[in-house]
Chains A and B, each alone.
Chain A
Amino acid sequence: MSTPATTPLTAGTRRLIPLNHALPWIIAAVCLFILPYVFDSRSALTIMNQMAITIVFALSYNMLLGQGGMLSFGHAVYMGLGGFFCMHLLNWVEAGLWLPLPLLPVFGGLFGLFFAFLIGSFSTRRAGTVFAMISLGVGELVAACSVIIVIFFGGEEGISGDRTMGPEVLGWDFGPQEQVYYLTALWLLIAALGMFLYSRTPIGRVANAVRDNEERAEFLGYSQRHVRWMSFMASGFFAGIAGALFAINFEILTEENLNLTTSGSILLVTFLGGVGFFVGPIIGAIVFTLLQTVLSLYTEIWALYLGILFVATVMFFPGGLAGLLAMHVLPWKLGKIGHLVVPYAKMLIPALAFVLSAAAVLEILFHKRHAGLGDHEMNLYGITFDSHGAMPLITVLAIAAVSLFAIVKLAPGLKAAWDDATHMGGHHG
Chain B
Amino acid sequence: MSVPAIELRGLEKSFGLAKIIQGVDLKIDKGERHAIIGPNGAGKSTLFNLITGKYAPTAGSVHLHGQDVSGKKPFEINRMGLSRSFQITNIFHNMTVFENVRCGLLWSMGYKYSFWHMVNGQRHLTEKADEILEQINLTSRRNVVAGALAYAEQRALEIGITIAGGADIIMLDEPCAGMSHSETDLIVDLIRKVTEGKTLVVVEHDMGVIFDLADRISVLVYGEIIESDTPENVRASKAVQEAYLGTTLEDAG
- The interface of chain A, by Cβ under 8 A from chain B, is 1, 6-9, 11-14, 16, 197-198, 200-206, 208-209, 212-213, 215-224, 226-227, 230, 234
Contacts and interface: CB of A to CB of B under 8 A. Distances in A.
B86 to A, nearest CB: 8
9 contacts: A201-B119, A202-B112, A202-B117, A203-B114, A204-B115, A205-B119, A220-B161, A221-B165, A222-B75
Most chain B CB inside 10 Å of its own CB: which residue of A6, A9, A16, A197: A9
B75 A216 contact: no
Contacts of B58: none
Nearest to A13: B123
Given A6-B143, A216-B92, A216-B161, A221 B79 contact: yes
Given A200-B118, A209-B95, A220-B106, 12 more contacts: A12-B122, A13-B126, A14-B121, A202-B106, A208-B92, A209-B103, A218-B78, A219-B74, A221-B107, A224-B75, A230-B113, A230-B115
A16 B95 contact: no
Contacts of A216: 86, 90-92, 161
A226 B54 CA distance: 17
Given A213-B92, A216-B90, A218-B74, A201 B130 contact: no
B193 interface: no
Given A14-B121, A209-B103, A203 B115 contact: yes
B68 interface: no
A13 B119 CA distance: 12
A223 B120 contact: no
Contacts, number: 117
Contact of A205 (B78, B84, B103): B103
A220 B165 contact: yes
Contact of B139 (A1, A217, A223): A1
Interface string B241-253: 0000000000000
Contacts of A217: 103
Given A16-B121, A220-B161, A223-B73, A206 B103 contact: yes
Most chain A CB inside 10 Å of its own CB: which residue of B52, B86, B95, B113: B113
A1 B108 CA distance: 27
A180 to B, nearest CB: 30
Contact of A219 (B78, B121, B130, B142): B78
A213 B120 contact: no
B37 to A, nearest CB: 23
B113 A212 contact: no
A230 B113 CA distance: 8
Nearest to B124: A12
B113 A219 contact: no
B136 to A, nearest CB: 14
B127 A1 contact: no
Given A14-B121, A202-B112, A221-B107, A212 B83 contact: no
A11 B142 CA distance: 12
Interface in B46-97: 52, 54, 73-75, 78-79, 83-84, 86, 90-95
Given A201-B119, A209-B103, A12 B126 contact: yes
A212 B103 CA distance: 12
Given A12-B126, A205-B102, A219-B75, A227 B113 contact: yes
A1 B92 contact: no
B104 interface: yes
A12 B103 contact: no
A230 B106 CA distance: 16
Interface string B159-198: 0010001000000000000000000000000000000000
B2 interface: no
Contact of B117 (A1, A14, A201, A213): A201
A198 B115 CA distance: 6
B139 A203 contact: no
Contacts of A224: 75
Contact of B120 (A11, A212, A222): A11
Interface string B186-226: 00000000000000000000000000000000000000000
Contact of B95 (A1, A212, A219, A221): A212
Contact of A206 (B52, B78, B106): B106
Contacts of B90: 213, 215-216
Contact of A1 (B107, B122, B140, B161): B140
A218 B107 CA distance: 11
B111 interface: yes
B116 interface: yes
Contacts of B103: 205-206, 209, 217, 220
Contacts of A226: 113
B7 interface: no
Given A205-B106, A213-B91, A221-B107, A200 B143 contact: no
A206 B104 CA distance: 10
Contacts of B117: 201-202
B52 to A, nearest CB: 7
Nearest to A9: B130
A11 B106 contact: no
